[in-house]
Amino acid sequence: MPEPTDKDALRLSARATRTAFVETLDPMAHRLAFRALPSPLRARLEGSGIVALYMAVNDEAPAQRLAEALIAEGKRLCLPCVVDRLGNMEFRAWSPGDELDDGRFGTRHPRAHAPVLHPDAIIAPLLAFDDSLNRLGQGGGYYDRAFARYDTALRIGLGWSVQQIDSVPADPWDVPLNIVLTERSLIESEAA
């Protein structure tokens, strides 16, 4: 069995922090979170025709709630689908109300007949992020591989404000985000 890393310990702590925060949210505040596109994000997405969302698992920030606002902006939507155990995923077309299949790790994804799309912007879940917009994910590397594959896509992390920490350990293969959207703010990379 591999030795635990600093990232493993950080993941445990970040999950506990996220869960505790979500449990304290007023139900109405939770339902209203992430239903609108802040103006700066709307402006940054102007040239993006295809936007990848995700279906939230457990206490993740609910990206699917952005769907109606993105559709109103004329965007086509897609969701990730894990295609193999090597950490690869593709993005398949999705609209609210479409039937979804169960995926690995408790995820939900579009049916196999949904067309594969190539996103211009990828909205990704996270466990933690820092001021440099380094992202701590679940540890499988799926999003880092997708970011590398779609290297011109806008990389947007979606999370709760309590998920911001002082420093996320970054490995050479980790790809930083361009933007992080929380229920309280939009944080943009200086390099973005």
Condensed to tens digits (0 to 9), the pLDDT of residues 161-174 reads: 999 999 999 888 88
Q: Which residue has the higher pLDDT, 76 or 102?
A: 76
Please check the confidence at residue 133 and state whether its pLDDT lies above 80: yes
| Structure-token pair, residue 105 | 């790790």
pLDDT for 47: 93
Percent of the chain whose pLDDT exceeds 70? 96
Question: DSSP code of 104?
Answer: G
The answer to whether position 18 is within a domain reads yes
Structurally, the chain folds into a number of domains equal to 1
Q: In Å, what is the CA distance from 52 to each residue of 16, 31, 63, 77, 81? A: 27, 21, 9, 6, 11
Range of 76's domain?
A: 6-188
Asked whether the predicted pLDDT for residue 105 surpasses 80, the reply is no
CATH number (domain holding residue 173): 3.40.50.10420
Q: Give domain status of residue 60, yes or no.
A: yes
| 75 occurs within a structural domain | yes
30 — pLDDT class (breaks 50, 70, 90): confident
Quick check: is 179 in a domain? Answer: yes
Q: Is the pLDDT of residue 3 over 60?
A: no
Question: Is the model's pLDDT at 179 over the cut of 80?
Answer: yes
Q: Is the pLDDT of residue 49 over 60?
A: yes
Q: Is the pLDDT of residue 1 over 50?
A: no
Q: Is residue 1 part of a domain?
A: no
In tens, the pLDDT along 63-101 reads 999 999 999 999 999 999 988 777 789 999 999 999 999
